[in-house]
A and B are shown apart, each in its own frame.
Chain A
Amino acid sequence: GAGVSQSPSNKVTEKGKDVELRCDPISGHTALYWYRQSLGQGLEFLIYFQGNSAPDKSGLPSDRFSAERTGGSVSTLTIQRTQQEDSAVYLCASSLASAAYGYTFGSGTRLTVV
């Protein structure tokens, strides 16, 4: 597509429920990234996919967080047993092979855990 698409735009969930956030990157971009942005804060790296290589999961805050990327394109970030501290904006970005050239971001998913 023309840009990075994320869905849903907003998600309200009850504490303890599982949620899935979706990211559809720019066609031809082999790298895909997930970041988390808490209210008024900077961006916290979560996970990185590059082509068919094993993902870099070093930023995932706990084992409740997981992500997959199917067919080298669409990615899903799953948060199990959501907690109130998981409330944040989750941003997805994609890039050509290396982040050295910068990312293109989606509009993010605002997750609110009540």
Chain B
Amino acid sequence: AQTVTQSQPEMSVQEAETVTLSCTYDTSENNYYLFWYKQPPSRQMILVIRQEAYKQQNATENRFSVNFQKAAKSFSLKISDSQLGDTAMYFCAFPRRDSGAGSYQLTFGKGTKLSVIP
């Protein structure tokens, strides 16, 4: 089974500080992508960052970066210089292959609620 686990239901960080959200996953595949999505109170799911498993270099998008440890099946998200607008639910996601239908769907972790404190 392919699962995604986010072990931190809630976290808080002071504005301008750095915070790391953890995610672990389980898969038998070798080539895949991993994603972090952000869901602010507006409930719009926004793609934050994507990591390709065959690339050793960690992905970076402005203040957002990942620490991808393939052997450990760990995919954490680091947010630097936290801003009030970063307050949101953050979901880690992994494409799960449905062996019956032959299709892929994203499987999501249960999310981490991040609060940025002024």
List residues of chain A with CB under 8 Å of any chain B CB: 33, 41-43, 45, 48, 50, 56, 58-59, 89, 91, 93, 98-108, 110
B100 at interface by CB-CB < 8 Å? yes
Q: How many residues of B contact A (CB 8 A)?
A: 25
Contacts of B30 in A (CB 8 A): none
Chain B interface SS verdict (over half): strand
- Are A99 and B104 closer than 8 Å at their CB atoms? yes
Which B residues are within 8 Å of any A CB, using their own CB? 32-33, 35, 37, 42-47, 50, 91, 95, 98, 100-101, 103-111
From B98, B106, B107, B110, contact of A41 by CB (8 A): B110
A104 to B37, CA, bound (A): 10
- Residue contacts A-B, CB under 8 angstroms, 16 given: A42-B91, A42-B109, A42-B111, A43-B108, A45-B105, A48-B101, A48-B103, A48-B105, A56-B103, A58-B101, A93-B45, A99-B104, A102-B33, A102-B50, A102-B106, A110-B43
Say yes or no: B108 contacts A91, CB within 8 Å.
no
